Amino acid sequence: MSWFKRESGDYEPDPNTPGNGDSERRVRTEGLFIKCQGCRQALYKPDVEANLNVCPKCQHHFKLSARQRIEMLLDPGYELVDGGLRSTDPLNFHDVKPYKSRLRKAQEETGLDDAILNAVGNLGPHSVVVSAMEYSFIGGSMGAVVGETIARAVDRAREGRKPLIVVAASGGARMMEGVVSLMQMAKISTGLAQLDDARVPYICVLTDPTTGGVTASFAMLGDLNIAEPGALIGFAGPRVIEQTIRQKLPEGFQRSEFLLEKGFLDAVVHRRELKDYLIRAISFMQPVA
């Protein structure tokens, strides 16, 4: 039975033969597959990325970074502007860890100064200003830097008479900056009122998730409010609402399709159609001279 039961020492793999080393024999798939939160299927990551980070099976829209958003919307040659702003930690805030350390970690991981990027560039035939939020930076929360950066985008759009597009992705106001973060709601809203008086178009694209003070201010003030499919949009989360009113919420509550049905959104647009949709919308609101 020696042919069936190999004795110790009968076989020594040749380390010079490809695949025989320990590191070579391991199947390395880490990072090549991701799990879809919609259909729960394992997906080959390059295929998902080639599909604009949309699941090819169920059309679930994965999150995108602020830079990816800008690259997806604007033609090549755009310019990043209004950078270099960093929070000063006005309250010297500590919870589980100091706010300063949270900021440093987020800055190192994302390569950004805060949860926002502004860019000026061309969207088809239109010169536009885009302000895109970064959810992976402390949940895309809105502090003084985010508020000031969006306010600068509003001013830039008004002065240059360029349509403004804000891509919202946020957990709301940044609690670590207290009332300073809440002041950004009024600050941005005031700027948008001036933009409206100047008759410059403002479009807000709401993505998953858009909640809290961001929803309660600039995210719902667009001349056109559109959202990606399946995006969570609201003020308080559904779990908090259920616990407060002690009632079961309807199916799909606070998802973009539900809000469209109830009149809170103007459209729900698939990611592959978003750029063309925005070009058509801006052409209607501000025809090219």
The binding site for Zn(2+) comprises 36, 39, 55, 58
- For residue 176, give the nearest of 152, 144, 208, 150 by alpha carbon: 144
Distance CA 196, CA 134 (A): 26
Distance CA 134, CA 236 (A): 20
Q: Round the CA-based radius of gyration of the chain to a whole number and report it.
A: 24
Distance CA 74, CA 123 (A): 5
> Is 132 within 8 Å of 95 (Cβ atoms)?
no
Q: Enter the tokens of residue 286.
A: 């501000």
Binding site, annotated residues = 36, 39, 55, 58
Burial 123-162 (b: 16+ CB within 10 A, else e): bbebebbbbbbbbebbbbbbbbbbbbbbbbbbbbbbeeeb
- Percentages helix, strand, coil for the chain (3-state, rounded to 5) are 40, 20, 45
